[in-house]
Structure 1
């Protein structure tokens, strides 16, 4: 019996992995190398500590990033992109360029009326 597919297409699968407001910004923040939790929090303005923790756990579970714990005093934890995460960042770069190109038009959309 053939396996039932969870996703209808590649775009559906990609959006499932990166869905939400914060994951793309976290990916972007980690593009230049590992960051500690506090550094990530500063690099993603507006995210709460709780939401950042949840998003990092999800991204670790999906294989987008790695969490490395250094056993020292004080404890140190760094987050970095996996190859899977870097490949998604590459794909997201094109979407970011599109957003930059159309930023004025997107800013003019009456978002409060659409929600």
Structure 2
């Protein structure tokens, strides 16, 4: 078994990049189509403008998304997925399929809060 502080720990780099629950959703939406800031914000529940701005900058820095600014007034900015970000498509799709398949258990777990983990249900 690998130690968690080992640089080759399998998920360390992935979770470092996708360290926020909204990042998966942002990637998911941008895989579907190019979006403006307001469109992304409207699709995410309970996110404020400051946090969304920060997350978009991080995803852009990590080369998962790109930002295109158009000239003119009012200023228009559009976000899209990069070819590197598109590599997450099977991962994101499988996570959503897993969630859909296990929705009943997930909802039950959230409502009852009896189990310490979903493993308790299997």
Class of the TM-score when normalised by the shorter of the 2 chains: 0.7 to 0.9
Alignment root-mean-square deviation, CA: 1.9
**CA deviation string 1:52-111 (max 9, x = no partner):** 001101100111100001111111100000011111122221111111100110112248
| Distance 1:7-1:76 versus aligned 2 partners, 3 A rule | farther
Which runs of no fewer than 5 residues in structure 1 stay unpaired?
A: none
**SS of the residue 1:97 aligns to:** helix
| Distance 1:7-1:50 versus aligned 2 partners, 3 A rule | farther
**SS of the residue 2:78 aligns to:** strand
In the alignment, the residues of structure 2 paired with residue 69 and residue 6 of structure 1 have an alpha-carbon distance, to the nearest angstrom, of 37
In the alignment, the residues of structure 1 paired with residue 8 and residue 55 of structure 2 have an alpha-carbon distance, to the nearest angstrom, of 21
Which runs of no fewer than 5 residues in structure 2 stay unpaired?
A: 1-5, 117-122
Aligned residues: 109
Indicate the residue corresponding to 1:6 in structure 2. Answer: 7
TM-score normalised by L of structure 1: 0.84
